Amino acid sequence: MNTKNKMVRMYKVLSMAFVIFLQIYWYKIRRKPKAEWENLWEKIGVRFRKTLFELEGLLIKIGQILSTRGDLLPEAFIRQIEDLTDHVPPSDWIEIKDILEKEWGNIHQHFHSIETTAIASASIGEVYRGILEDGNEVAIKVKRPHIDSIIETDFRTLKMIIWFADHFVPIPKEFINLKVLYKELKHVIERELDYSYELNTILYFRDRFKEMNEIQIPSVYSELSTPQVLVMEWVEGIRLTDAEALDQIAISRVELATKLLKVFLPQWLEPGIFHADPHPGNVLISKEGKIILLDFGMIGEITKKDAAYFQALIESFLSKNYTKAVECLSHLGFLLPEADSRTIERLLAEISFQPDQLKEMNLVALKLEMNDLIQALPIQVPTRFVFLGRSFVTIEGIIKHLAPEAELLDLGKPVFMEWLNKQGNKWAFVWQWIQSQPVFKILHSVSEFLHTPEKLERLKEIEQRRHFQFQMYENNKKRLFQLTLFGLTGIATGIYTSHELLLKWAIGISTLSAAGYIICNYKLKKWMKYMHEKRKV
DSSP labels, 361-414: S-HHHHHHHHHHHHHTTTB---HHHHHHHHHHHHHHHHHHHH-TTS-HHHHHHH
Which residues form the domain of 73? Answer: 6-89+147-192
CA angle 512, 517, 521 (to 5 degrees): 150
Q: Write down the pLDDT at residue 462.
A: 59
Q: Write down the pLDDT at residue 89.
A: 78
Same structural domain, 291 and 409: yes
Q: Write down the pLDDT at residue 69.
A: 65
Q: Write down the pLDDT at residue 361.
A: 45
- Report the distance separating Cα 516 and Cα 522, nearest Å: 10
E strands present in 72-147: 111-114, 120-121, 125-132, 137-143
Same structural domain, 244 and 317: yes
**Domain tally, the chain:** 3
- Under 8 Å between Cβ of 191 and 48: no
- Report the distance separating Cα 262 and Cα 416, nearest Å: 9
Same structural domain, 355 and 491: no
For residue 272, the cross-strand partners are: 302
pLDDT above 90 covers a percentage of the chain that reads 15
Higher pLDDT, 114 or 396: 114
- Residue 103 resides in a domain: no
Q: Write down the pLDDT at residue 1.
A: 40
Same structural domain, 382 and 352: yes
Q: Write down the pLDDT at residue 211.
A: 87
Same structural domain, 347 and 444: yes
- Residue 32 resides in a domain: yes
Q: Which residues contact 183 (CB under 8 A, 6 or more apart)?
A: none
Q: State the average pLDDT for the chain.
A: 77
pLDDT above 70 covers a percentage of the chain that reads 75
Same structural domain, 296 and 375: yes
- Residue 202 resides in a domain: no
Q: Write down the pLDDT at residue 175.
A: 46
Q: Write down the pLDDT at residue 318.
A: 65
pLDDT-based confidence at residue 137 (cuts at 50, 70, 90): very high
Same structural domain, 164 and 49: yes
Q: Write down the pLDDT at residue 287.
A: 86
Higher pLDDT, 273 or 6: 273
- Residue 128 resides in a domain: no
Higher pLDDT, 225 or 320: 225
Same structural domain, 352 and 413: yes
Distance (Å) of CA 65 to CA 70, 462, 525: 10, 36, 28
- Residue 215 resides in a domain: no
Q: Write down the pLDDT at residue 489.
A: 84
Taking only the tens place, the pLDDT of each residue in 480-513 is: 887 888 888 888 888 878 888 888 888 888 888 8
Tell me which H or E stretch contains 304.
helix 304-318
Cα atoms in the Cβ-side hemisphere of radius 13 Å centred on 408 = 19
- Under 8 Å between Cβ of 202 and 217: yes
Q: Write down the pLDDT at residue 363.
A: 45
- Under 8 Å between Cβ of 423 and 311: no
Same structural domain, 408 and 474: no
DSSP string, 455-514: HHHHHHHHHHHHHHHHHHHHHHHHHHHHHHHHHHHHHHHHHHHT-HHHHHHHHHHHHHHH
- Under 8 Å between Cβ of 389 and 374: no
Q: Average pLDDT for residues 355-362, to the nearest whole number?
A: 47
Same structural domain, 495 and 430: no
- Residue 108 resides in a domain: no
Its pTM stands at 0.67
Q: Average pLDDT for residues 120-141, to the nearest whole number?
A: 90
Q: Write down the pLDDT at residue 429.
A: 53
Q: Write down the pLDDT at residue 177.
A: 62
Q: Which SS3 state, helix, strand or coil, does residue 275 take?
A: strand
Q: Which of 164, 192, 220 is the last residue of a domain?
A: 192
- Residue 96 resides in a domain: no
Residue closest to 426 by CA, chosen among 435, 417, 434: 417
Q: Write down the pLDDT at residue 461.
A: 60
Residue 51 has pLDDT above 60, yes or no: yes
Interhelix angle for 426-435 vs 408-423, to 10°? 120
Taking only the tens place, the pLDDT of each residue in 182-207 is: 777 788 788 888 999 999 999 999 99
Q: Which of 410, 426, 450 is the last residue of a domain?
A: 450
Taking only the tens place, the pLDDT of each residue in 402-448 is: 888 777 777 887 887 787 777 665 545 554 554 544 444 444 444 45
Q: Average pLDDT for residues 267-274, to the nearest whole number?
A: 87
Q: Average pLDDT for residues 350-367, to the nearest whole number?
A: 49
Same structural domain, 432 and 462: no
Q: Which of 400, 422, 450 is the last residue of a domain?
A: 450
Same structural domain, 521 and 432: no
Q: Write down the pLDDT at residue 357.
A: 47
Q: Which SS3 state, helix, strand or coil, does residue 229 take?
A: strand
Q: Write down the pLDDT at residue 513.
A: 83
User: Of 22-31, 104-113, 277-286, 379-388, where does mean pLDDT reach its minimum?
Assistant: 379-388
Higher pLDDT, 374 or 169: 169
- Under 8 Å between Cβ of 65 and 128: no
User: Of 311-320, 447-456, 507-516, where does mean pLDDT reach its minimum?
Assistant: 447-456
**Residue 280 burial (10 A CB sphere; 0-12, 13-18, 19+):** middle
Q: Write down the pLDDT at residue 101.
A: 92
- Residue 294 resides in a domain: yes
Taking only the tens place, the pLDDT of each residue in 139-179 is: 999 998 888 888 888 888 888 888 887 777 655 544 456 77
CA 123 to chain centre: 18
